[in-house]
Structure 1
Amino acid sequence: MKISYSPTPLEAWISHFYRQLGITSPVELDEQRIARSLDIYLIYKEIPSMAYELGRFKSITIDKRLPLFIQREHFYHELCHILRHSGRQIMMPAAFRELQEWDARNFTRYAALPFHMLSNLEFDQPGIIEELSTQFGVTPVLCEDRLIRIREKVLRSAHVTKPNQFLSFDIM
């Protein structure tokens, strides 16, 4: 089943960013390549994953004890912090820190499975989640979450655009 889907502004931005780097297929999604293009020092160590920025120096440390698929997801999460956030989370109010973490999880879904690489897929084919997991090098859980959100957005859009269908409110 082909779907009609409009990407969010963030999804469109990520696809544009990848295309500028010449990244058009899942095999080209390489953490080293992405980090190098942004002058980010990428480190793999046996410590929790984190992003660090001081002036023009930027680094992402990935916990190398984690499985490779999860390391990749951590990379996208930390990349979001460098590209979209500022401040030290340890010093910010909990609500602001939670907002940044929500944004990083959302960014991870889009960066790991970018819209321009999904647009020609058959979403209802058997084994699609496992196929995406293998192609994109991320966990099946992330792939399933991404597909669920795409389906929900398509269904919401189809529901709202049906002719002669209006929301009504009772006014008391």
Structure 2
Amino acid sequence: MWEYYRPNMIEGTVEDIYRSHGILHPWDLRIENLMRTFSIDLRYWFLEPKCMWSENKRVIFLTKGLTGFAYKQTFFHEFGHVLVHEGDQLAMSDAQRQLMERDIRRFLRFAMMPAFMLRQLEPYLLSSPWDLVELFEVPYQYVINRLKDIRRRIWNRYWLEQEAKWRCQQNRSYVYSG
């Protein structure tokens, strides 16, 4: 059923960036690998997470004490800013910052478990959420939500195409019956 899946714009951007940097498998999504691949310096402090970047330097500041999925999610949030945004957040209006944050929340849905990586897996893994939890190192609920989103988008596309075929057949039958 993957033939009915169409990535949206953000998901396509994530896939293009990952592929162009050799991020092709779930194990490539490990934070240490992303830091090395994208030349990111990771630092810890007691303030809110932030990132700074220029053409030759990328730094992500994470709050000390984060662990587990909160750590990974926060890293990917800041990583998303580095990859897809430009400009100084401090110089932006509130509306611009809110739009940027909304984009990053959408980015997170795709960046930690990209569909193009799922597509490459053995089909049985897609029906085994616990295997995906281990493979992508994300929580069970994240896997379930991501799979539901993918299935919903596949089924929506499938039914749209079925309806279009049906309408096309209906139009032909009207032409020939008269």
TM over 0.5: yes
Residue 115 of structure 1, CA deviation = 1.9
Runs of 5+ consecutive residues of structure 1 not aligned to the other structure: 167-172
For residue 69 of structure 1, what is the amino acid of its counterpart?
Answer: F
The whole-number CA distance in structure 1 between the counterparts of 2:10 and 2:101 is 16
Contact 1:32-1:42 at 8 Å conserved across structures: no
**Match in the other structure for 1:24:** 24
Greater C-alpha Rg? 2
User: Are residues 1:103 and 2:64 paired?
Assistant: no
State the secondary structure of the residue aligned to 1:61. Answer: strand
Worse-superposed segment, 132-141 or 74-83: 132-141
The whole-number CA distance in structure 1 between the counterparts of 2:83 and 2:150 is 24
**Match in the other structure for 1:69:** 69
State the secondary structure of the residue aligned to 1:17. Answer: helix
State the secondary structure of the residue aligned to 1:164. Answer: helix
Q: Deviations over 1:27-48 (max 9, x none)?
A: 2322222122222212234443
**Match in the other structure for 1:117:** 117
The whole-number CA distance in structure 1 between the counterparts of 2:44 and 2:167 is 53
The whole-number CA distance in structure 1 between the counterparts of 2:54 and 2:75 is 18
The whole-number CA distance in structure 1 between the counterparts of 2:43 and 2:53 is 14
Higher helix share: 2
Residue 81 of structure 1, CA deviation = 0.7
Q: Deviations over 1:58-86 (max 9, x none)?
A: 21122342222221121111111112112
Q: Report how many residues are paired.
A: 163
Contact 1:64-1:71 at 8 Å conserved across structures: no
Question: What is the root-mean-square deviation of aligned Cα atoms in Å?
Answer: 2.6
The whole-number CA distance in structure 1 between the counterparts of 2:89 and 2:148 is 30
Contact 1:70-1:138 at 8 Å conserved across structures: no
The whole-number CA distance in structure 2 between the counterparts of 1:156 and 1:27 is 30
The whole-number CA distance in structure 1 between the counterparts of 2:143 and 2:51 is 24
> Normalization by structure 1: what TM-score?
0.78
User: Are residues 1:57 and 2:63 paired?
Assistant: no
> Normalization by structure 2: what TM-score?
0.75
Residue 165 of structure 1, CA deviation = 4.5
**Match in the other structure for 1:134:** 134
Runs of 5+ consecutive residues of structure 2 not aligned to the other structure: 169-178
State the secondary structure of the residue aligned to 1:6. Answer: coil
State the secondary structure of the residue aligned to 1:43. Answer: strand
